[in-house]
Structure formats: C-alpha cells, structure tokens
Structure 1
Amino acid sequence: MIEMRRKLLTSGLVLGLLTATTTAAPAHAADVVSAPLVWGVPAARDAVAYWLADGGANLRNATPFTPPYDVRGQRASGVVEPPGKPLQISPVPPMAEGDPPRTAGKVFFVGGDDRPHWCSGVAVQNQYHNLVATAAHCVYDMVGAPATTYHWVFIPGPATDGTHPYGIYAGKQVFTHYDFTQYRDPDRDIAFVSVYSGVVPSGDGTLTTNGRLGDIVGGQGLAYNQRIDETTAPEVDVFGYPIGPHPDGSRPYTGQSLERSAGRVTATNLTSPEADRLVGVESPFTGEGSLGSAWLLGYEDERGLGYLNGVTAGVSDTDGDGRYDTGVSPYFDTSLAGVYKAAAANWTGRLT
C-alpha cells in the first residue's frame, strides 16, 4: 500500500547512451534521469496535507536524514581542471522585500522506512521560478531498487515551531544524473526538483495559492566549471540546517536556525567513498541536517543572493580530532549543468 505509492525510477530522458561523460563535450540527454514525485495535482495536495495534519505534527516529528557516506579523507592542494568553459547563471531577487536570505529551507519527505525526514535545500533560479536544489539522496531512496521518496515538499525559511512563513511547495518532478541512480555515484549526488506554486492553509484548513517559489523567495544563480587550485580556489558561503553530533558527541547545532560558514573550495583526497570528482570546503557543519546545504559563490549579504557552486553530500573529520571540519560536494561541471538545464525547462503549475 504505502510501498505501492512509491514511484520506481523512470528515465524518460535517457535516450540511449549507457554511460555519462565528464569531458568538455556538451552534456547529452543520456546524462539526465527524470522521475515524477507525484502523479498529478491531487497527489500533490495529499503531500501537503500529510505535513499539515494534526497541527503540523509530521513537520515537528520529522528527523534529519542520516548522511549516506562515511566520508574519510582530507582537503588537498591539487588542481581541478574544468572540463569546459566557466559558466554562470545570474540569480533572481524576490518580487517582495524581506530579510535575506529567504532561498534556504528544508526539504521534507517520507523515506523507505515510512518515516518523515528532512534535509537542507535551496531555491535556484529558472524561467518558471519553481526549482529547488538538494542532495540526490534527499529525493531518492537508494536502498534496494532506486525509487523516489514520497510526500516531498520544500519549505523555505522554516521557523523553530514548524511553521511555513513563505508557503509550502510540493515537489512534482526530480532531475538528477544517470550515474547517481545507476551506479550510486557520489560524484553525482545532487538533484533539482521542480515544485508547484506554493500554498498556505487558511483558517478552515483549505489551501490558498501563495505564488511561485522564485517570486516569493528569489532564486540563487549557478556557477559551473570553476577552476580550483591553491591560488584561484573560489570561496563560498555554506547555508544549511545542521543538527547531528560531531564524532566526539558534542552537539553545537539545533537544526532549527539557518547556519552559515565560509571557506575556500579545494580538491579532496578521499579514502571513502570511492569518488574522483568530489570537492571540499572548510566547514564545521555536522552531517545530519546539513545534507543539501547550499554552497554560494559570490554571496552578497544585502541581496541574499549568490551562485550555487556546491551542495553538501557528506562531511568529514579530516584531522581526527573528533569534530567535522569539511563538507564535500559534487564538482559542478558541464554534465551537471545539463541536469540543471533539463530541470529548469520543466513547467509545474498550481495546486489550487
């Protein structure tokens, strides 16, 4: 029953090639896998209703998703050469004034264990103002056959009491890289989700349209194919909602407030997981809760906007002192730009 409602992976955009490329050639459609998170508006309304039921009990009781990787390694001084020309897509501010940043939030979903969980996520710009980026593990349940999670929603700027100040946005379609769903490749652990226009509950429990995500909170830009070495490594600001413990047991974060750290992106030498295109950033975020945290290049405080250049897929204690000090992300290259472009062209619509 509940299990039957989980959608097995569909790959409608996979057109024939069975391997993805990370060369300078343009990304092929075969690099992109897409799957529905709901089958129509009624199911999307059901997803929202799940999180609003009993006064938002499922929002309050959701637990942070556990990092899928036991990351071991260290930041390195090596060079990451881009496979193509550097690319930047400009951010878009929200239509209404407000305290930045509003693009960061939490993605909520029910996993293969039939329990509610959450990760960090961020709104990114596109033509339909309806796109969210997070770690792919926060959209796909990779235990057994790859399948999407269900009741997936994005809530930007969640408050400490589980409210939803900028609306609730039900996920419609997920886009990720073929190598992640086929091979569980951590180098491709990022997903873009197109969401319906937001809704807010009225006093009698009915849902009222809030507006498109990008109109309400804005959308971060994107930066791909950035060269990384000791002298030109970009510095990014990391935004997310960490909550889990450090290896030494200390718990510096609550998961209730948006946290920020800053550091330079570097190459990484990893002994776990097996990956060759992950990059690292100095960050004290713990793993639980911080999956999906946005790495923003060129972030401007007054606008709350920058260029998404990474998404936390795991964290590592590189010096063995019992405290996490490094976040890791897939390297944003031409192939991942192809995933974004496919997602950016997906129209969604309204729930009401």
Structure 2
Amino acid sequence: MNSRAKRLILPLGGALAVTGMIGASLSGTAQATAADPDVKSTTLTSSGNAKAIAGYWTASKLKSAKTYLSDSTVSAKLNKTGAARAAADGKPGVVAPTGEGGKSAGRSRNVNLPITVGKVFFVDNKGQERWCSGSSVQSKFRNLVATAGHCVYDTDTNKPFSNFVFIPGYYQGKAPWGIYVGAKVNTHDDFTVYEDYDYDYAFVNVYNGIKQTGVKEVTASQYAATKGFKYTEDKEISKAEYEAGIEKYGEAGPYWKKLADPKVETVGKPADAQKYIEEYVKDGRNGVKLTAVEVVESAYKAAPTGLDNHAKFERFSDDKGRVAISQEEYRDLVKQKADGDFLGKLEATKDANGNEIAWYKTRFFIKKWVKTTVKEHYFYTRFFVIVMSDAGRLGDNVGGQGFSWNQKLGKKVFTFGYPTSAHLDGDKPYSGHTQKWCYGKTGAAPVVPAYKAEEHQAIKCAFTPGASGGPFLLQYKNSKRTGYLNGVVSLTVDSDKNGRYDRVTTPYFNGETYDIYKYAANLWTGQLPR
C-alpha cells in the first residue's frame, strides 16, 4: 500500500484531488527536488550556532540524557492477518559505502562494531535531554546521518527537536571522533504531516565535527571576546576574600556584593563620598558603607546616576551587556524568579525553529548607604569557555554506510544500536552506554494501526528501547565494518505479548525513501565560522 492510497481515508476535497494523488504515486523514482511534495526539509540551526550547541553537550549531559521512549514501543500480535505488507515499488538499487576499515568502535561477541554508528542527542519540548541511535551514511559531501524520524521531528509540536547532534562511536560519555551538529533534517512529508510510521526515517545533514578539548577558566575580558560556548558561575565568598579581590582587581573585576536584606534603613550620603568612594565600598568609613540592592530592570533604568541613595550602581550591574550562562543556571534562575528571589532579566536565544540554544542573565543594582553593621553577601564570578577545534567532515572521519532500496524480504541483516530500557517484564539486560547488535532475516512485521505502520519489515531481536534509529545493514562486512543501509529501527515489539521485546521493525525502504535520501545526500552544509 502506498502513501497516497492511505490518504484516501482523509477528507481531500473531492474526487479530482484523489485521482491526482493516485496518479502521482505511480510515477517513477525521479530525483527529489525542493519542489517534490514528498520531501520535508527543515533547517535545524545555522552554522553560527554550531559551536554553542556542541559546547552544550558536556560529558555530564551526555551521560545523564534519557533514552527517547515516546512512540517507539508496542505490543502487537504477529499473524497472517496482522502482517505488514511491505513491497517494492520499482527495481532494487544500491549506493556503495565509504569506509574507514582501520578504525573500530570495538568488538562485541566476535563482531567488529562500526564506528559509523553512534547516538543522536537532542532536547525535547519539555527541556529534557534525550537520545536515540543513528548512523553515518554515504553522501556527496560526507555529511549525512540516518536515524528514525521520531528521533528528530516532534509531531506533537510540528517542529524538530532542539540542540540535535550526532556522536559516532559513542562510548560512555565520550565523543572520540567529535560532535556533529545537525544543520538540516530531511523527512517524508507523510511522517511530518500524517504521523505515518511507514515513513519513520530521517536523513540529517550535519556540520563539520567539533571536538571539545577542555574547559578553560578565563578572565572577564577574555570571556567577553569569546564567541563560542561559555558560561559563568557565581560563588559566595567571605568578606576577607571579597576585600582581597577588590584590592587586586578593582571595581571592574569579578568581585561583588549585595545586601542580605534590601529593606534595611538607609542613611544619608556622606559629604566625603566622592573622595573615599573605594573605602566606603570596601569596608565602610565612620560607621557608614555603600552597598548594592538588586532591582528589576525598569527600576534600574529609572534610577539616576551619581552617588546618592537609589542611584545606579554600574560596577555591579551588567551594564556592558547580558552574561552567557549554562542552561542549568538558567533553569535554576527561572525558578528563583518565579519565587521573587531573582530580580534580573533572563533571556534565551532561539534558532530558526524556535528552539533554545543559548541562555543569558542581566542583573541590575542600585546604591544604598547603610550602617556598617548591616549584613552583606559577597560573591566572586568565575568565567569559563569550552575549548573546541574543527574535527572535519563526518564521512572523512568514520566513513558512511551504503544505501539500498526495494530489496526483497528474507535477506539477512545486522542491526546496531544502544538499547537501554528494561523489557516489559522488568528485566534490564542493557546499559545504553555501549553499542550492541542483532542479526537475523527480514520478514513481515506486525501491523500497528496506532502508528499507521502497515509496511514495516522486522527481524527477531531482543533489543529494548534506545535502539530506535539504529541501522539495518545488508551485506555487512566485518573486516570493513560497512554494509548497505536497508532500514532504521522504528519500533521495538513484543509480538507474542509475553513481556519480552522480540522484534525490531523498520519502514520498508522503497523508491520514495531513495528519493528522500538522494535529495539529502546532495546537500552541502557549508563551513563552520572561524
């Protein structure tokens, strides 16, 4: 059954529209173009954001990310009336792989694991870091990743997930060949519009890889000049540490303070305030000191300049612009702001799809003259940058699997991925930190009406969720670690309903799949900015 035929159950506005769609489905597998209605090509992020997104995925985030379970598991009976009807729509074909035979992601039960396979990481619409499996695949510009459509595109919000990256050869939080940030995702329109899992595949063009070579603490001026991923941390310190810091770095340095209780009574500005301003700020003088009170942006803008009470306190405020922070600090400050404990301004930069990719804070303070007995809190701001380098093109580093379509069922394939979840009966044989494999003969998959999955093929395999997006590879050569992509894991299935997953399924790769692949395989992602 082709995609157009399944659409006949939907209100299309008359017989002429239906006839036109049926006719379109019988055409050959011409090369896809931007005008081809089957191709849904969506920008993920610009090259200017790539380093920031790569920097976002620290080792701790990679390890703590959760597998994406949504729309990936099902219990479905496999029988003659419930078997999928996967079938070719034309002649079979293949595209040869490019390999890096001297490199390996390790061995597992005498199988050389391909370094083309890894994890795709992304942030879902609730802000949770997630992951699936994926694989590098051959393309003209060596920049293409294949995975499941539901691991890139959120059909609930009708837009891609944010902060998408691919890490080939992923192993326990490590990215040995770099982090590849998604530039553009190419899917079949039936998946993005109709949520049809017979088209649950995606081909993602990625930018050159980025290697994180470390985290470096820098000065405030170096931090301001850095364009890549960076963040700050505010650490509360003692009064003695604050005084030593002010003495060394002066008013433009990273040391600052604020009143413990902003409601304390003020005193008048001393007559010698201008002459002894540093002394008043540091320790106080004659029982009086100058301190800072945090206020909202509108109050700060309305405040006068000068040394009087309630005047702007520029040295402690972020007058020179917003300060980049980590997403963790941003989330924490959002909660504090909701409780009225943070009065500054919070901002998040978004990409073309409305996904957050960078986070900032701006704080505002005014002057307040108080008695020296009033309690204050003291802080030191630390500045960090993620040191990165260009790792080059994906295919040059790890190779790319070949591609095949319109292949007969009954062929033996390997599938690779990172299963992690427990079986339905609670048994948990996988960790999700290391790559695993299955081997079997392709056959009919259960029909799953909930996902419109009517044309899947499957192999017997005990993978659990986490393997979604991993490749089905025909003619996999153990010595070269390459084969021909013939599917991507879409659903993990308990076909006999005994509480154990026993099959993984993939959409059948036909001529329409080849059209989407061919379109994506000819897209260039450009150079990363220096």
* TM class, shorter-length: 0.7 to 0.9
> Does residue 78 of structure 2 align to residue 74 of structure 1?
yes
Q: Does 1:311 align with 2:317?
A: no
Per the TM alignment, residue 280 of structure 1 is displaced from its structure 2 partner at its CA by: 1.2
SS class of match (2:78): strand
Partner of 2:152: 139
TM-fit CA distance, 1:183 = 0.2
**1:98 equivalenced with 2:103 (yes/no):** yes
Q: How does 1:133-212 map to 2 (within 5 A)?
A: 133-143=146-156, 145-160=157-172, 162-203=173-214, 204=216, 205-212=386-393
Corresponding residue for residue 28 of structure 2? 25
CA contact (8 A) 2:84 2:457 kept: no
TM superposition shift of 1:158: 1.2
Question: Which letter maps to 2:114?
Answer: P
Partner of 2:94: 88
1:184 CA drift (Å): 0.3
- Tell me how far 1:211 sits from its aligned partner: 1.2
The 8 Å contact of residues 84 and 447 in structure 2, kept in 1 or not, is answered as: no
CA RMSD of the aligned region, Å? 2.1
- SS class of match (1:270): coil
1:58 aligns with 2:61: yes
114, 121, 134: which one aligns with 2:127: 114
- Any stretches of 5+ residues in structure 1 without a counterpart? 1-15
Aligned-pair CA distance for 1:252? 0.6
Matches within 5 A, 1:220-299: 220-228=401-409, 233-273=410-450, 274-287=452-465, 289-299=466-476
Give SS of 2:57's match. helix
- Aligned partner of 2:28: which letter? A
CA displacement at 1:321 relative to structure 2: 1.9
Distance verdict in 2 for CA 1:309–1:23, change over 3 Å: farther
Q: Hey, what's the Cα distance between the residues in 1 that align with 2:412 and 2:27?
A: 24
Match of 1:8 in 2: none
Larger Rg: 2
- Length, aligned pairs only: 325
Tell whether the 8 Å contact from 2:86 to 2:454 is kept in structure 1 after alignment.
no
The answer for the alignment partner of 2:302 in structure 1 is none
- Unmatched runs of 5 consecutive residues or more in structure 2: 1-16, 105-112, 217-385
1:162-210 per-position Cα deviation (integer Å, ceiling 9, x unaligned) = 1111111000000000000110000000000000011112344321111
CA contact (8 A) 1:241 1:256 kept: yes
Partners of 1:304 and 1:101 in 2: CA distance: 5
2: CA distance, partners of 1:123 / 1:345: 15
The offset of 1:57, in angstroms, is 2.2
Deviation at 1:141, TM superposition (A): 1.2
CA distance in 1, matches of 2:84, 2:124: 37
Given that 1:34 and 1:175 are in contact with CA atoms closer than 8 Å, whether structure 2 keeps it comes out as yes
CA separation of 1:70 and 1:240: change in aligned 2, threshold 3 A: closer
Residue 286 and residue 212 in structure 1: after superposition, are their counterparts in 2 closer, same or farther (change >3 A)? same
* Residue 259 to residue 23, structure 1, CA distance change in 2 (3 Å): farther
Q: Shift of the alpha carbon at 1:327?
A: 0.5
For 1:259 and 1:81, the matched residues in 2 are separated by: 29
Contact 2:417-2:467 at 8 Å conserved across structures: yes
Q: Is the 8 A contact 2:77 2:497 kept in 1?
A: no
Identity value in percent = 38
Is 1:48 aligned with 2:21?
A: no
Q: Which residue of 1 aligns with 2:344?
A: none
- State how far apart, in whole Å, the 2-side matches of 1:67 and 1:234 are: 29
| Counterpart residue identity of residue 213, structure 2 | S
* Partner Cα distance (1:267, 1:115) in 2: 35
Letter in 2 for 1:61: S
Q: Distance in 2 between matches of 1:243 and 1:135?
A: 17
Contact 1:154 1:168 in 2 (8 A): yes
Structure 2 residue aligned with 1:10: none
Greater displacement, 58-67 / 267-276: 267-276
Q: Which residue of 2 aligns with 1:5?
A: none
Q: Which residue is equivalent to 1:7?
A: none
TM-score (norm 1): 0.87
Does the residue aligned with 1:222 lie in a helix, a strand or coil?
strand
TM score, norm. by length of structure 2: 0.59
Bigger helix share: 2
Residue 350 of structure 1, CA deviation: 3.4
Alignment-mate amino acid for residue 388 of structure 2: L
- Separation in 1, partners of 2:197, 2:85: 19
Partner-residue secondary structure (3-state), 1:350: coil
